[in-house]
Structure 1
């Protein structure tokens, strides 16, 4: 498998031949502003293609992906669990990171989402639940080769609020 650098306009592209002999196919990778940046990435891209570990970037947004994932999970989840996932996704996750393409999601986006949820005075337990739902959805995306890594795994799960145990006084116990 061979690759080369091509300049079109002000951008540089990596072009890799991925077809067999007699059946020429090329894969183009864009987004480079200098030939040095493209040259740095060329061996990594060729290696991933040869190993079969390259994951094609998708333009699917997080909102689109989460809605599809939730549809798939509906039959597997109890009604209350599904409703909870639905609320977390539509009320907290999508408003924060829904416009980001799934293939471009990074740890910083998730961390920023937690900060936004804290600013909205969401309880730590609610943020914990949002993290759990996002982590589960990204685990599925990773297993199905939609993303190369589950970035939610790289973050610590936000702590739940610890509620002080309530108890009755002797008088309350006797009255009960």
Structure 2
């Protein structure tokens, strides 16, 4: 949202309508000019611009870790309160991704939430360990409010991309929005 303010200052005559639904929309039939997509993209006739990796951080509050201990491997998570995200499109809890791990037993969530910001708030409140997109928790980690764990194991999940119908980018205002947002969002991903 801070990037949107900067876009409005730079392009005051461009009317923007933002939909913040956490569902996969039909871009063409829904009448969208541009959509921000996370994860792997489907093959389609749409145009896309990858703007960065969709990286995740496994983390918890320092207070939680002081009380419960710090997991050293993904299998240690079976002894912790793990707070998961539930996808609104499928109704299923997210499966945490780990690389270089021989973990065979899925982690059982202690709490399941359907909002990314609530996920971060749960970790900040000491409810348990979360695995969240880096852009949701990186400022809290930098400020010491959250502490990353299992950094050597946490894996990427595709990319962050802007996607649009082929005809949309011909409009100068849409092209301006794509270029501006690609630059601004990519800064938050690294």
Superposition TM-score tier, normalisation by shorter sequence: under 0.3
Greater strand percent: which structure? 2
- Please say which structure displays the higher CA radius of gyration: 1
Q: Which has the higher contact order (CA 8 A, sep 6+)?
A: 2
